[in-house]
Amino acid sequence: MKKVFVLDTNVLLHDPNALMQFEDNDVVLPITVIEELDRFKKQPEMTGRNVR
């Protein structure tokens, strides 16, 4: 049985490979998460690098 996982911004900031960890399940990224990630990508430190 497939599950649906809704990821938060913090999950992706902490582990950029998190999207690939859910195997055959569905992963949902709300538009709010995508917008927040877009703001972080300009930062020069590790967080910005993870987002890019």
Query: How far, in Å, CA of 48 to CA of 43, rounded?
Result: 5
Looking at residue 47, what is its pLDDT? 74
pTM, two decimal places: 0.73
Query: How far, in Å, CA of 45 to CA of 24, rounded?
Result: 32
Looking at residue 5, what is its pLDDT? 94
Digit-coded pLDDT (tens) for 8-40: 998 888 888 888 898 889 999 999 998 988 887
Looking at residue 50, what is its pLDDT? 73
